[in-house]
Amino acid sequence: MLIDRVEAQKNPTKHTLVALVENKPGVLNRVASLMRRRNFNIESLAVGTTEDPTISRMTFVIDASKTNAALVERNLYKLVNVIDVQDVTDLPTVVRELALIKVRVTDAQHRGEIKQIADMFQSRVVDVAKESVIIEVTGEEQKVDSILNVLQDYGILEVVRTGRIAMTRG
């Protein structure tokens, strides 16, 4: 919890909003259309189902220095399919992101080094091929950024990141 607070303070302009929306066709389109027409700047958006199959959950990351997070929250509320919106930025929250990173390997020594790096970041090698490996990493964005930074020198072939998801503690 302490770590989360420290991280939040490092990025005071990043706001995390969680929205519960009806799981109906077109709802994501409504949300995206709202963001575009209001000229809201969204850094990341993660969508998935919840314990209730009729409800989806969206996690938004907003750079509050560019976009007023409170206005995003209130505009989301105006959408008929949006059930609840909460800005969890200042709440004790578990924040995670998942990334898959495909790294070039040229020889066995490289492969060993990459495995070591993955271990140090408590991440896993999930695919090994002749000339590449895929690493699966979960954590906060900073952790993903760090491992990407370290792996840069080996040659990153492909990256996919889910964007931030968040859940309040307790």
Q: Which of 11, 44, 81, 162 binds another protein (CB under 8 A)?
A: 81
User: Per-residue contact track with another protein, 27 to 56, x per CB under 8 A?
Assistant: --xx--xx--x-------------------
Cβ-Cβ contacts under 8 Å for 122 (sequence gap 6 or more)? 139
Q: Which is nearer to another protein, 84 or 131 (CB)?
A: 84
Cβ-Cβ contacts under 8 Å for 61 (sequence gap 6 or more)? 14, 15, 16, 17, 42, 43, 44, 45, 163, 164
Q: At what angle do helices 141-151 and 108-120 cross, to 10 degrees?
A: 160
Residue 22 C-beta: closest distance to another protein, Å:
6
Q: Which of 8, 18, 82, 144 binds another protein (CB under 8 A)?
A: 82
Residue 43 C-beta: closest distance to another protein, Å:
21
Q: Which of 72, 23, 65 is nearest to 48 (CA)?
A: 23
| Helix H or strand E segment including 5 | helix 2-10
At 59, list the tokens: 């996690």
Q: Which of 1, 12, 13, 22 binds another protein (CB under 8 A)?
A: 22
Q: Which is nearer to another protein, 83 or 134 (CB)?
A: 83
| Helix H or strand E segment including 168 | strand 165-168
Residue 91 C-beta: closest distance to another protein, Å:
13
Any contact of residue 23 with another protein (CB under 8 A)? no
Residues 125-164 that bind another protein (CB under 8 A): none
What separation in angstroms does the CA of 6 have from each of 9, 33, 35, 108? Answer: 5, 34, 29, 39
Q: Which of 41, 48, 49, 70 binds another protein (CB under 8 A)?
A: 70
Binding site for another protein (CB under 8 A): 21-22, 26, 29-30, 33-34, 37, 68, 70-71, 74-75, 77-83
